[in-house]
Amino acid sequence: MKLTIERTALLTSLSHVQSVVERRNTIPILANILMEARDGFLGLTATDLDIAINEKVAANIETEGATTIPAHLLYDIIRKLPEGSQVELDYKSAEERIYVRSGQSKFALACLPQDDFPIMETNQLPHNFVLSASILKRLIDKTRFAISTEETRYYLNGIYLHTAETDGVPMLRAVATDGHRLARVETPIPTDAEGIPGVIVPRKAVSEILRLIDERDEPVSISLSDTKICFSFGETVLTSKLIDGTFPDYERVIPAGNDKVLELDGKTFAQAVDRVSTVATEKTRAIKLSLSTDLITLSATGADAGSASEEVAAAYGSEGMEIGFNSKYLLDITGQIDGENARFLFADAGSPTIVRDSADEGALYVLMPMRV
Residues of the chain with CATH 3.10.150.10: 2-116, 127-252, 255-367
Q: What is the pLDDT of residues 288-322, one digit of tens each?
A: 999 999 999 999 998 776 899 999 999 999 999 99
Is pLDDT at 24 greater than 80 in this prediction? yes
pLDDT of 124 reads 82
Q: What phi and psi, each to the nearest 5 degrees, are found at residue 324?
A: -115, 150
Given this model, what pLDDT does residue 304 score? 78
Which one of 3.40.50.1970, 3.10.150.10, 3.20.20.70, 3.40.50.11540 gives the CATH number of domain 2-116? Answer: 3.10.150.10
Judge whether 71 and 28 are in contact, CB under 8 Å. Answer: no
Q: Residue 372: pLDDT band by 50, 70, 90 thresholds? A: confident
Query: Cα–Cα distance between 216 and 234 in angstroms, integer?
Result: 10
Q: Is the pLDDT of residue 104 over 80?
A: yes
Domain 127-252, second-level architecture: Roll (3.10)
Return d(Cα 292, Cα 262) in angstroms, integer. Answer: 10
pLDDT category at 216 given cuts 50, 70, 90 is confident
Bridge partners, 6 (sequence order)? 86
At residue 152 the predicted structure's pLDDT band, cuts being 50, 70 and 90, is: very high
Residue 334's Cβ-count burial label (10 Å; 0-12, 13-18, 19+) is buried
Kindly write down the DSSP assignment for every residue of 242-304, as one continuous string: PP-S----GGGGS-S---EEEEEEHHHHHHHHHHHGGGS-TTT-EEEEEEETTEEEEEEEETT
pLDDT of residue 349: 94
User: For a pLDDT cut of 90, what percent of the chain falls above it?
Assistant: 92
Average pLDDT, the chain: 95
Distance CA 197, CA 174 (A): 13
CATH topology of domain 255-367: DNA Polymerase III; Chain A, domain 2 (3.10.150)
pTM recorded for the entire structure: 0.94
- Using alpha carbons, list the distances in angstroms from residue 159 to 7, 143, 247, 282, 309: 36, 7, 9, 28, 36
